[in-house]
């Protein structure tokens, strides 16, 4: 029996103020792969990503994480309980463009807080996991400092460590480098490339064309809420089917 996909999206649609920002999206993310989502501003990329962990609730369609329906109780067809939803969402990590670190907690405390209060780990065990993940992203030496003392790239690496600490089955990255100064982008992309090489399942909304080309197993392009192209990077970047994708790539050079 084939292994279940990490993420499965079927006929997903979402409206804001009667404007359909996602229209009948179908997408499967295989375990251990990296999928990059490209598109111009307003194309629905971030909304699609947020639907994958129910930060946004789609109006139609379904999202499954490792085969488990997200947000809807399959037995009743009604919204699932907060407890049941939280249990599935533990399988999904999220890295935001604005870092979302708690300023009143040290770097290590930022990483361990959810382990203690969501997973119920003892503090000593949580701190051991936290130190391991901070070392993985090159931030172990900053474990006792406050987030305000960190550069943007360092903050984003801590945010990645916080996500890794929860042992997610898939990590969602929403423009993880867009808030960074250009010289700090590569340190974050380097961490992400290492994670991809280790076999982490990742879905990345990005404008970083080189990253999408070098690291992705599949590239997805959204335009006005429609998924208009989906291909391996070698085809997507050299011989796309869509004129719109060709135009987008030309303008990105």
Kindly state whether residue 68 falls inside one of the protein's structural domains: yes
Using an 8 Å Cβ cutoff, are 226 and 196 in contact? Answer: no
Kindly state whether residue 57 falls inside one of the protein's structural domains: yes
Give the integer Cα–Cα distance in Å for 156 and 162: 10
Using an 8 Å Cβ cutoff, are 166 and 93 in contact? Answer: yes
Kindly state whether residue 234 falls inside one of the protein's structural domains: yes
Kindly state whether residue 116 falls inside one of the protein's structural domains: no
pLDDT recorded at residue 3: 59
Kindly state whether residue 110 falls inside one of the protein's structural domains: no
Q: List the CATH number of the domain containing 34.
A: 3.40.50.300
Question: pLDDT truncated to tens, each residue of the chain (253 aa)?
Answer: 345 799 999 999 999 998 999 999 999 999 999 999 999 999 999 999 999 999 999 999 999 999 999 999 999 999 999 999 999 999 999 999 999 999 999 999 999 999 999 999 999 999 999 999 999 999 999 999 999 999 999 999 999 999 999 999 999 999 999 989 988 999 999 999 999 999 999 999 999 999 999 999 999 999 999 999 999 999 999 999 999 999 999 988 7
Kindly state whether residue 246 falls inside one of the protein's structural domains: yes
The domain total for the chain is 1
pTM exceeding 0.85: yes
Give the integer Cα–Cα distance in Å for 85 and 105: 27
Its domain, for residue 253, covers 1-91+208-253
pLDDT recorded at residue 4: 77
pLDDT recorded at residue 253: 76
Kindly state whether residue 189 falls inside one of the protein's structural domains: no
Kindly state whether residue 134 falls inside one of the protein's structural domains: no
Which residue from 33, 36, 37 is spatially nearest to 195, judged by alpha carbons?
33
């Amino acid at each position: 029996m084939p292994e279940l996909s990490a993420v499965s999206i079927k006929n997903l649609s979402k409206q804001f103020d009667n404007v359909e920002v996602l229209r009948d999206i179908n997408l499967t993310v295989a375990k251990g792969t990296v999928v990059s989502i490209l598109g111009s501003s307003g194309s629905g990329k971030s909304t699609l990503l947020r639907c994958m962990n129910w930060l946004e609730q789609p109006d139609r369609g379904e999202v499954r994480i490792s085969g488990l329906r997200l947000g809807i109780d399959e037995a009743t067809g009604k919204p699932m309980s907060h407890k049941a939803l939280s249990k599935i969402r533990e399988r999904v990590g999220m890295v935001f463009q604005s870092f979302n670190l708690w300023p009143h907690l040290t770097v290590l405390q930022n990483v361990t807080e959810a382990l203690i209060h969501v997973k119920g780990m003892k503090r000593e065990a949580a701190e051991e996991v936290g130190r391991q993940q901070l070392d993985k992203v090159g931030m172990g030496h900053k474990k006792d400092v406050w987030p305000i003392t960190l550069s943007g790239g360092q903050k984003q690496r801590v945010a990645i460590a916080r996500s890794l600490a929860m042992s997610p089955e898939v990590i969602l990255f929403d423009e993880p480098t867009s808030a960074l100064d250009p010289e700090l982008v590569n340190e974050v992309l380097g961490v992400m490339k290492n994670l991809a090489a280790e076999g982490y399942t990742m879905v990345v909304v990005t404008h970083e064309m080189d990253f999408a080309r070098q690291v992705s197993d599949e590239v997805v392009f959204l335009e006005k809420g429609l998924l208009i192209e989906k291909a391996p990077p070698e085809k997507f970047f050299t011989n796309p089917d869509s004129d719109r994708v060709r135009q987008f790539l030309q303008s990105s050079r």
